[in-house]
Amino acid sequence: MAAAASHGRLATALGRGYGTVSDRWRIPRLPALRGRSLAPEVLRGNLARRSCYGSKIDRDSSFDEGERFVGWFREVWPYIRGHRGSTFVVVIAGEIVASPYLDDVLQDISLLHGLGIKFVLIPRANIKIDELLAERGKKGKYIGCYRVTDGDSLEAAMEAAGMIQVKLEAKLSPGPPILNLRRHGGINRWHEVGSFVASGNVVAAKRRGVVDGIDYGLTGEVKKIDVPRIRERLEKDSIVIVSNLGYSSTGEGLNCNTHEVATACALALEADKLICITDGQIVNEKGCPIRFISLQEEDFMIKNKSKQNEAANHVKVVGSENYIHPFNFESVESGKQAMATEAFSLGNYANAQNVVGVDKFSASWSIGQGFAIGGEERMSTPYFAELASAAFVCKRGVQRVHIVDGTCGGALLLDLFTRDGRGTMIAGNVYEGTRMARDMDLPGIKKVINPLEESGTLILRSEEQLRNELDSFVVVERDGSVIACAALFPFLEEKCGEVASFAVSAECRGQGQGDKLLGTISVH
């Protein structure tokens, strides 16, 4: 059995005269672990009575650090196992690329790569391009939502892509600290470069040309993604970096929009996730982070934003205007989410015109108007490009999109290895929903209402009573877990009803789950 201790704990042990580290830093063996098994409660008791130096500890007053680590590790193991072998396409915002936060983001990506996740990184170069142009007395020009790329802008784009490429390679090169590995022996293999990085001319593009009388110059549109070459490098355990530069059949370098490159890669590679690392969170009007957005809700957000902003109008992702409003409120930011109507057609995207289109078998693209939001327009419509990209790829096979705040340390890890995450997730499959309760929900309902019963807020209900009343319960399920519940007992003659056992789990409060429950109950 191995145990870990902080430097402070070690110093305290030596200061009390426990002897040398080698004498006192040994964990006594538990005889019960050799050759026979113990009941779980007996085993936990033995472990609880021994500290890392073998002294007795008070389990009620201090929670052993090692035991906490073991509990955490067991909790995240299903996620580690589930993500292994997956392909994630990651868009890194230009604001993060140009900031010190990039170090932590890449460190976490390197860690995840070591756990068997395949990464395609697509860094935005917009901040660096504008910076280089400013140094030369120039200013980036945008028409609608696209950058107009002249010779100076293309030169800056190429220079920025090269600088960012080298920057990412350098920051992904360090391996794990050797001091943390000495006790495991055979550390020579750890002296190699951390993560291997590959790149290349994998994006085929064409000139955007003249659109509505405007010549976009050397601005490109993604035409094809070289899927076999990317997959070959991923299978050789490399992290693939794809820049926003595309190359035409005539040998031209073209400045493409990063989000168009990312959506093209995600769909052509049939990625498991598209992850957008941004410089902030998506919040509602109260300033509370939005942890989950359904496709119906996101459709409304895109429609709403596109009517407010000229640049957003260029992003035609939803398609037909004939869709049913999925909410019973005026503003999506209010967080008052109602039961989405089944009449909403998930096929709207299939019929959309003037959008990025993909044939995932040939990886051949035909692009009209895409997800480019730049310059001052992006500031007035924050994260619109990320939301539009998320909606688009979710409708075409990418199961999950995560929009993660790169300025929050460890946010990517928390978003991938905890149920509720730390970013905003858009799911192409069922992740969170409201439904009638089933027999299998009984333990989850009991877990949600139990704290409120103990505090006297709710009337105590026995398990037998809950089982008998289960048909009256509505639950909100997130990733297989019940996070909220309520029961409705109608009085038909009086044309009214009683709402009972209304509860939301503590960690999910303030996210509109109560409003969602009330909306569902009112329908019934």
For the chain, the domains span: 7-62, 77-429, 433-523
Length of the chain: 524
Q: What is the pLDDT, as a whole number, of residue 153?
A: 94
Closest CA to 123 of 172, 85, 80: 172
3-state secondary structure of 192: coil
- Cite the beta strand spans of 261-396 per DSSP E: 273-278, 292-293, 357-359, 364-366
Pairing of strands 214-215, 273-278: unpaired
Q: What is the pLDDT, as a whole number, of residue 211?
A: 87
Q: What is the pLDDT, as a whole number, of residue 63?
A: 57
What is the CATH T-level fold of the domain 433-523, as seen in this structure?
Aminopeptidase (3.40.630)
Gap between the Cα atoms of 100 and 94, Å rounded = 12
Q: What does each C-alpha distance from 22 to 27, 163, 454, 492, 502 come to in angstroms?
A: 11, 48, 48, 76, 56
Q: What is the pLDDT, as a whole number, of residue 324?
A: 30
Residues of the chain with pLDDT under 70: 1-63, 144-145, 176-194, 305-382, 428-433, 511, 522-524
Pick the CATH number of 77-429 from 3.40.250.10, 3.30.70.890, 3.40.1160.10, 3.10.20.30: 3.40.1160.10
Q: Given the structure tokens 């340390």, which residue do they identify?
A: 409
Gap between the Cα atoms of 119 and 109, Å rounded = 8
Q: What is the pLDDT, as a whole number, of residue 238?
A: 94
Q: What is the pLDDT, as a whole number, of residue 297?
A: 75
Dihedral pair phi/psi, residue 364, rounded to 5°: -100, 130
Q: What is the pLDDT, as a whole number, of residue 183?
A: 57
Gap between the Cα atoms of 121 and 92, Å rounded = 7
